[in-house]
Amino acid sequence: MAWAALLLTLLAHCTGSLANIVLTQPSSVSGSPGQKVTLSCTRSSGDIGSRYVNWYQQRPGSAPSTVIYADDERPSGVPDRFSGSIDSSSNSASLTISALQSEDEADYYCQSYDDSYNHTVLQTMGK
| pTM reported for the whole predicted model | 0.76
Q: How far apart are CA 3 and CA 87, in angstroms?
A: 40
Angle (CA) 53-16-117 rounded to 5° is 30
Average confidence (pLDDT) over 66-79: 97
In the β-sheet with 82-87, what is the strand arrangement from edge to edge?
Answer: 23-24, 37-43, 92-97, 82-87
Mean pLDDT of the chain: 80
Note the pLDDT tens digit of each residue in 35-60: 999 999 998 888 888 889 999 999 99
Topology adopted by domain 21-124: Immunoglobulin-like (2.60.40)
Question: What pLDDT does residue 66 have?
Answer: 97
The residue extents of the domains of the chain are: 21-124
